[in-house]
């Protein structure tokens, strides 16, 4: 993707062709080997960094005039700081791979048209004092930094995390192998949310086909032609979300005694099935092998021509598991009288169930602050009550 981005973006291509050492990393544009004077009037070289504003596989006009800098603060010939661009001098982690020392601000009246104009304007200001002392110094080295097209799990750059400056937070979720078991309703919304995070792999398990009723309780809007294909659920969702995340892996099967070992080596499991017997097999295996998981569920009833019920998530972690059996937080029964067994599922409740599960998962890995450390959450629909229990002891 980075190499393609450079080739398809005239402004980046011009920087590259003119010999600047540019690099695309973690949603940022880096220009290395920018000459400048430090406070002792010595010539040093730093790196100029800018967020990227993209439309698919090419740049559009920069959203902000601000840039970052790795190095000492650039100075004038007399050793004084260049106040024309001075903004902030705080050590800042833009991502796990990019730590900057300063931010600069120089805003033209009409902003910058493209990244060539933006970066060259800053380079001109920063480098002018150094070049006035030694006219042989230059930013145009023609040294090629080969872009690594395989470093990201996404098919295009996550400019959302870059724009919000939360790359270091998002990267806490990297290298995880996540499994979603069951894609009938809540599981498909969990996939929708998981696919937007930099997890290493997303494994999908479900042996059923994607049918017409599934279309009304899952994200997206399939065509009639797609429904007629009666494609397996895992293949259907892989086709959609592989457009964004490179490592969505389809397993057209249910988990049972014969294949449960496939869960070995996985980092986190989302259980999104309502069949008691296979769920018990999976839960026993995950607890025995100390694998963390979240189980989701809904219990809905029709009363006086209205729906009432509870949306629930239960987490089991390396820190706390005893509540699962001691308090019966997960049901392993197949109750034919239960309204949920009649497939009363509503898209908005599936989405809520998934969102609660994802928020808890992100808490477990330090993405969100977690002061309560609850392991059981239940939302009662008719009274709008959110109950949190079973805190880490």
- Taken in order 278, 283, 284, 285, the sign of the CA dihedral is positive
pLDDT of residue 393: 75
**Cβ-count burial 294-311 (b if 16+ within 10 Å, e if not):** bbbbbbbeeeeeeeebbb
Kindly report the pTM of this predicted structure. Answer: 0.82
| CATH 3.40.50.720 domain residues, the chain | 174-389
d(CA 348, CA 220): 13
* Contact residues for 58 (Cβ-Cβ < 8 A; gap 6+): 5, 8, 9
pLDDT of residue 5: 87
pLDDT of residue 283: 96
Provide DSSP, 64-114. -S-EEEESSPPB-TTS-B-TTTEEE---EEEETTEEESEEE----TT--SS
Biggest CA-to-CA distance, the chain: 86
d(CA 326, CA 159): 45
List the beta bridge partners of residue 205. Answer: 181, 251
Q: In a 3-state reduction of DSSP, which class is residue 285? A: helix
pLDDT of residue 152: 83
pLDDT of residue 182: 96
d(CA 373, CA 329): 16
Residue pLDDT tens, the chain, 393 long: 567 888 889 999 999 999 999 999 888 999 999 999 999 999 999 999 999 999 988 999 999 999 999 999 999 999 999 999 999 999 999 998 899 999 999 999 999 999 999 999 999 999 999 999 999 999 999 987 765 555 689 988 888 888 888 989 999 999 999 999 999 899 999 999 999 999 999 999 999 999 999 999 999 999 999 999 999 999 999 999 999 999 999 999 999 999 999 999 999 999 999 888 999 999 999 999 999 999 999 989 999 999 999 999 999 999 999 999 889 999 888 654 454 456 588 999 999 999 999 999 999 999 999 999 999 999 999 999 999 999 997
Residue keyed to tokens 């029709």: 302
CATH-assigned architecture of domain 174-389? 3-Layer(aba) Sandwich (3.40)
d(CA 357, CA 175): 19
d(CA 12, CA 203): 36
pLDDT of residue 337: 45
pLDDT of residue 342: 61
pLDDT of residue 353: 97
């Amino acid at each position: 993707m980075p190499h393609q981005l450079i080739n398809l973006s005239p402004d980046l291509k011009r920087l590259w062709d003119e010999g600047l050492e540019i690099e695309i990393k973690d949603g940022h544009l880096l220009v290395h080997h920018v000459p400048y004077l430090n406070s002792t009037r010595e010539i040093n070289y730093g790196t100029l960094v800018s967020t990227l504003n993209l439309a698919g596989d090419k740049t559009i006009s920069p959203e902000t005039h601000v840039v970052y800098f790795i190095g000492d603060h650039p100075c004038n010939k007399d050793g004084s700081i260049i106040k024309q661009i001075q903004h902030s001098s705080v050590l800042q982690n833009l991502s796990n791979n990019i730590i900057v020392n300063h931010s600069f601000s120089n805003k033209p009246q009409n902003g910058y048209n493209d990244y060539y104009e933006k970066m060259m304007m800053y380079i001109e200001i920063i480098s002018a004092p150094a070049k006035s002392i030694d006219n042989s110094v230059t930013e145009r080295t023609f040294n090629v930094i080969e872009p690594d097209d395989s470093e990201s799990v996404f098919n295009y750059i996550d400019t959302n995390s870059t724009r919000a400056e939360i790359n270091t937070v998002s990267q806490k979720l990297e290298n995880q192998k996540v499994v979603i078991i069951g894609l009938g309703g809540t599981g498909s919304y969990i996939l929708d949310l998981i696919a937007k995070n930099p997890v290493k792999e997303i494994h999908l398990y479900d042996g059923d086909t994607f049918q017409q009723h599934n279309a009304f309780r899952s994200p997206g809007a399939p065509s009639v032609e797609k429904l007629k294909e009666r494609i397996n659920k895992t293949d259907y969702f892989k086709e959609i979300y592989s457009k964004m995340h490179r490592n969505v892996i389809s397993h057209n099967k249910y988990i049972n005694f014969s294949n449960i070992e496939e869960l070995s080596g996985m980092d986190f499991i989302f259980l999104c099935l309502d069949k008691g017997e296979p769920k018990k097999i999976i839960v026993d295996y995950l607890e025995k092998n100390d694998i963390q998981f979240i189980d989701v569920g809904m219990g809905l009833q029709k009363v006086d021509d209205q729906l009432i019920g509870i949306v629930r998530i239960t987490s089991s972690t390396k820190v706390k598991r005893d509540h699962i059996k001691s308090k019966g937080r997960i049901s392993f029964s197949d109750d034919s009288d239960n309204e949920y067994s009649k497939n009363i599922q509503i898209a908005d409740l599936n989405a809520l169930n998934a969102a609660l599960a994802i928020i808890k998962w992100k808490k477990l890995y330090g993405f969100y602050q977690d002061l309560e450390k609850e392991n059981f959450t239940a939302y009662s629909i008719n009274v709008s009550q959110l109950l949190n229990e079973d805190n880490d002891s």
